[in-house]
Structure 1
Amino acid sequence: MLDTQIKAQLSAYLEKLQHPIELIASLDDSSAAGEIRTLLGEIAALNNKISVRWDGDNARKPSFAIARTIDSANGQAPRVSFAGIPLGHEFTSLVLGLLQTGGHPPRVDDATIATIKALKGSFEFTTFVSLSCHNCPDVVQALNLLSVLNPNIRHEMVDGALFQAEVTERQIMAVPTILLNGQPFGQGRMTLEEIIAKIDTGSADRQAEEINAKEAFDVLVVGGGPAGSAAAVYAARKGIRTGVVAERFGGQVLDTMGIENFISVSQTEGPKLAAALENHVKEYSVEIMNLQRAEKLHAASEATGGLVEIELASGALVRSRCVIISTGARWREMNVPGEQEYRGRGVAYCPHCDGPLFKGKRVAVIGGGNSGVEAAIDLAGIVSHVTLLEFGDAMRADAVLQNKLRSLPNVTVILQAQTTEVLGDGQKVNGLAYTDRVSGEAKQIELEGIFVQIGLLPNTDWLKGTIDLSPRGEIEIDSHGRTSMPGVFAAGDATTTPYKQIIIAMGEGAKASLSAFDYLIRGGQ
C-alpha cells in the first residue's frame, strides 16, 4: 500500500507517539477490506507502540478506529474512526489521527484546547468525504481533534465513493457533508473555529465582547485573502497597530485546487497557500479576528472620534484610523428557479470536491471560460456524460483547453444556451431547462448534477451607499488604492483592478497598505 519513501517518512513521524495505540479493524470480504488489512499491518510494523485488532464491531465495513491502548483496556469506545481507506487528500488526516491519539500535542493554542475540553453534551459526528476533495481534510482533522481532546465527542470519516448505497440513501450530493447525532450539521469547508462556534452557543457573544473592548487600530484590514494578508504584513512591518477582520481567513483561495501561475512557485494548492498566508501574518503583531463578517462601514467623523468604524454581524464595532477593504469575490450564481432549492442536492460549485459523487451519472457544466472547460475535462473522467452550456456564441477558454475538451468522446458543447431553471423531483436534481438563444426554443436535459462555473461577484453588498462602486459592484479605487471615502483604501478582487489573479491581489494589497501608511504619517491627508 505504502511505498518505501512514505514508510520512511511515516516511521519518523510515529516516533512522536507518547502512548501506545491500537488500530481496531471492522472488515468484510471486499477488496477494500483487504487493502485496509494491508495498510494497518504496514503501519503497525513501523512502530512498536502500535498494535492491530481485527475484532471491531463497526456497522460500516470496511473501516477501522484508532484508540489509546489503555482506553481499550478500560472498555472505552474509540473516538476516531475511518470508514474507507484514508489515502489521497485524507492521508494527512490519518497521520494526525495516529499522532494525536498517541498523545502528540496538536498545533492549537491553549485557549482553544481549553474551550474544546469544556464542551458539554454528547456529540457523534459523521463526515462524508471524497478522497479527491481538498476541502474535506480540514473538516476531518478538526473533528478528529475535537474527539481526541474531549471524551464526549466521536467522529467517523466516511468515503462516499466506497459507501455509495448510504450516500444514495441519505441523498448526499456534496462533500464534505457533516452529520451530528444523525442530523445535518454542515456542508462544505468548516474550520475548527467554525465548528466550535457552532456547538458552543456562547462563543459568539464572548468574541463580540472581546472585540468591542479592543483599542482602535492604526490600520484595520477587512478580509483575509491574498490581498488582505499582504496588506496586513506590510502594515505590521511599519510597526503600527494592525488588525484583520475576516469572515474566513484565506478567502476564495481555500476553494482553489491547483495554482500553477504563482511566480516562483511552480505548483501548489489553495489550502496550502492559504495556510502559508495565515502563518506569515501571524509572524507579526497582527490581531486576527476570524469568523467575523463586516456589515456596515461608518466614515470618520466627530461622532466617531475621527476614526473609521466597521460594524460586524456579531454586533461588535471595530475602530481604526484607516481601513483597507479586501473582501474578495464569491462564485457567481445562475439566479434561476431551483438553484437554491437544489444547492447541495445536485447543484454544485466545486467539481474537484463533489465530482466523485456523480460517478457514472450525467452532469452539466454552466460556463465556457477556463474554469468551466477545466471542470468539464475533469468531470469527463468520472461521470458518464458532460454537457457544457455556454451563453455566448463561442467558448472563452484558452485554446489548449478547448482542444482537449473537443477530444473527449463523452462531452457535448451547447453554445447560445441560456439556463432558465434547475429541475428536480423535490429531493434532488433530475434535469435542466434552457433556451436556445438563436431559435428561442425552450429545451430540457435529463441529468443528475449541475456544476456552475460562470465567474465571480465582488463581496461588496455591505458597502452600497457608503463608498463609490462600479456598475459591476466593484469598489472604485485610484492608482494608490484610495476609495471615495477618506481613510478607506481597497485592494484585490473586490475592486476595479483588472485581472483577478492571486499575484495581482497580493501586489494591490501591499500597495494599499503603503498608501495607508503614507496617509497616516501625513496626518490623514
Structure 2
Amino acid sequence: MLDSNIKQQLDTYLQKIINPIEITVSTDDSPKGKELSGLAYEIAELSDKISLIERPDADVRKPSMAIGPAGEAPRVRFAGIPMGHEFTSLILALLQNGGYPAKAEQALLDQIRQLDGEMVFETFISLSCQNCPDVVQALNLIATLNPKVSSVMIDGSLFTEEAEARSVMAVPTVFLNGKTFGQGRMTLPEIVNKLDSGAEKKQAAELSSKAPYDVLIVGGGPAAASAAIYAARKGIRTGLVAERFGGQVLDTVGIENFISVKATEGPKLVANLEQHVLEYDVDLMTNQKAAKLSGSELFELELENGALLKSRSVILATGARWREMNVPGEQEYRGKGVAYCPHCDGPLFKGKRVAVIGGGNSGIEAAIDLAGIVEHVTVLEFDNTLRADEVLQRKARSMSNITIIKEALTTEVKGDGQRVTGLVYTDRTSGESKEVTLVGIFVQIGLVPNTEWLKDSDIALSPRGEIEIGTRGETSVPGIFAAGDVTTVPYKQIIIAMGSGSTAALGAFDHLIRTPLPEQAQNAA
C-alpha cells in the first residue's frame, strides 16, 4: 500500500519513537478492511517498538485502528483509512503515543493534563479536507496526554450511514460525549480554551499586562505576516494579534501563482510564514478576536475576552471572508447542506444533487471538482454572463452533469428541519420563481471585508466596507495603517497582500520616527 519513498520517510519518523506502542486493528472482509490491515502491517514492520494486535470481534467501528502505549487501553482511534491529508495525523499519533514530545508550549500541555471530566471526542472528516487534520491532531494530542479523554477520527465518506443519521453535512464536525462540540477548523489552543472555562479570564489578564507596542498588527494572513517581519526588522516592539494565523490561505488548496514557488498548498505556505515570523522578535497572540479600537497618540485595542492591548501605531490586516447569500434558510442550514468549502465537504455529497452559487473562477472550479463526486451540479449565476476564465467555462460545459443557469437570483434555502432539501431562485429575465431539488448548496460569491468591528470608529470605509488607504498604507486616522484584502487595494491576491503588508509596516515606521513618544508610552518604558 505504501510505496518505497513513503516507507523510507516513515521509517525515518518512526525512529523517533521512544517507548513501545501497540496498533490494534478491527477490520472486516471489505476491501477497505483489507486495505487498513495491510497499512497497519506495513507500519508495524518498520519498527521493533510497534506491536500489531488484531481484534476483528471488537465492538467498534470497522474498519478502524487504535493506537496507544503498550499495555494501555488505546485512546486514539482512526475509523477509516488515515491516508491523504490524515496521513500526518497518523504519524503524529504514532510518535506522540510513543513518547515523542509534542510541539506546543509547555503551559498549554500542562493545561491539557489538568482538564477534568470524562470526554469522548468523535470527529467526522473527509480525506480531501485540509482543515480536518488540525482538529484531528489536536484532539489526538489531548487524548494522548489526558487519560480521561479519547478521540476517534471518522471518515464520513466511508461511514456514510452514521454521518447521515447524525446529520453531518460539513467537515470537520466534532461531537463531545455525543453532542455537537464544533464545526470547521479549530486550533489546539481554541479547543483547550473552550474546554477550560477559566482560561479566558486568565488570558485576558495576562494580555492586558503587556507593555505598549510600537506597532500592533491585527490579523494573521499574508499581509499581517509581511507587516510583522518588516516591522520587527526595524528593531521596534512588534505585536501580532489574530483569531488564527494564516487567514484565508489556510483554506486554499492549490497555489500556483506565488512567484518563485511553482506550486504549493495553503497550509504549507502558512507554516512557512509562521516559521519566518517567529524567527524575529514578534509577540504572536492567536485565538484572540478584536472588538474595538480607540485612542489617538496611544491606541487601545480591546479584545472580545476583555483584554486591552496598547500601541503607538496599528496595522489592520483582518482580511476578508466568504460572502453569504443572506437569504432565508441559509443560517438555519449552515453545516446541514449549506457549505462554503467544496474541497472539504464535497465527499459528503457523493452521488447526490448539489448547487454552486456563483459563476466566477471559484464557483466554476467548485462545480468541476464536485462533478467528479456528485450526481449533478447546478450552477446559479446572478449575471447574464459567467465571470470565470474561459478555460474553466469550456471544461464545465464539457461535463454532462453540470447545468449552468444565468440570471438567477437565489431567494431561499429549503429544508426539512434537519438538512437542505432544495433552493428557490428567481429567473431575472421572466420574474418567475423556480425551485431546484437538491441536498447541498456551495456558496462561492466572493469576499466581504472583516470590518464590522470598525463601523463606529473614525476610520474611513468604502461603500463596500473596505478600509480606505493611501500609497503608504495610511488610513484616515494618523498612526493607523491597513493592508491586504480588508483594504481598497484591488486584486485580492496573496502576493499583493504581502506587498501591502510591507508597505504598511514601512509607513508605520516612518510615522513613528516622526512622532514624539506619548507620555503613557514613556511611563511604560
Say how many residue pairs are matched: 515
Matched, 1:470 2:462: yes
| Structure 2 residues not aligned, in runs of 5+ | 518-525
Alpha-carbon distance in structure 1 between the residues aligned to 2:85 and 2:343: 12
Residue 445, structure 1, aligned to residue 436, structure 2: yes
SS in 2 for 1:259: coil
The two structures, once aligned, show a CA RMSD in angstroms of 1.0
Deviation at 1:238, TM superposition (A): 0.8
Partner residue in 1 for 2:371: 380
1:456 aligns with 2:457: no
Q: CA deviation at 1:70?
A: 3.1
1:257: how far off?
Answer: 1.1
Q: What is the SS of the residue equivalent to 1:244?
A: strand
CA contact (8 A) 1:299 1:485 kept: no
Give 2:36's aligned amino acid: I
Aligned to 2:162, which of 160, 166, 177?
Answer: 166
Matched, 1:91 2:87: yes
Map 1:373-522 onto structure 2 (within 5 A): 373-466=364-457, 467-522=459-514
Q: Distance in 1 between matches of 2:241 and 2:14?
A: 37
Per-residue deviation at 1:277?
A: 1.4
Cα separation, 2, equivalents of 1:108 and 1:190: 15
Per-residue CA deviations over 1:227-255 (Å, capped at 9, x if unaligned) read 00110111111111000110111111111
- Distance in 2 of aligned mates of 1:245 and 1:296: 13
- Compute the displacement of 1:524 (Å): 5.7
1:523 paired with 2:515, answer yes
List alignment gaps of at least 5 residues for structure 1: 72-76, 301-305
Cross-structure match for 2:266? 270
Deviates more, 1:245-254 or 1:411-420: 245-254
The answer to whether the Cα contact below 8 Å between 1:294 and 1:462 also exists between their aligned partners in 2 is yes
Helix, strand or coil at the partner of 2:499:
helix
Greater CA deviation, 381-390 or 286-295?
286-295
Aligned partner of 1:74 in structure 2 is: none
Large movers: runs of 4+ above 3 Å? none
Letter in 2 for 1:37: S
1:63 to 2:28 alignment: no
Q: CA deviation at 1:180?
A: 0.5
Alignment of 1:206-217 (within 5 A): 206-217=202-213
Whole-angstrom CA distance in 2 between matches of 1:41 and 1:249: 37
- Corresponding residue SS for 2:71: helix
Give 2:124's aligned residue: 128
Match of 2:312 in 1: 321
Residue 523 of structure 2 is matched in structure 1 by: none
2:185 maps to which residue? Answer: 189
The reply to whether residue 102 of structure 1 matches residue 103 of structure 2 is no
Residue 145 of structure 1 pairs with residue 136 of structure 2: no
Match of 1:303?
none
What is the aligned partner in structure 2 of residue 47 from structure 1? 47
- Residue 4 of structure 1 corresponds to 4
Specify the alignment match of 2:75 in structure 1. 79
Cα distance in 2 between the residues matched to 1:318 and 1:55? 55
Instruction: Report deviation, 1:58.
Output: 4.1
Match of 1:19 in 2: 19
Q: In percent, how many aligned pairs have the same letter?
A: 64
What SS does structure 1 have at the residue aligned with 2:302?
strand
TM-score by length of 1: 0.97
What secondary structure, in the 3-state scheme, does the structure 2 residue paired with 1:173 have? coil
Corresponding residue for residue 233 of structure 2: 237
User: 1:180-228 deviations in whole A, cap 9, x for unaligned?
Assistant: 0111000000000110010011111111000110110000000011000
Q: Which amino acid aligns with 1:103?
A: G
Do 1:220 and 1:322's aligned partners in 2 also have CA atoms closer than 8 Å? yes
Query: Which string of whole-angstrom CA distances, capped at 9 and with x for unpartnered residues, describes residues 382-413 of structure 1?
Result: 00000000000000001111111111010000
Is this contact kept in 2: 1:487–1:524, CA < 8 A?
no
In the TM superposition, what is the alpha-carbon distance from 1:465 to its structure 2 partner?
A: 3.1
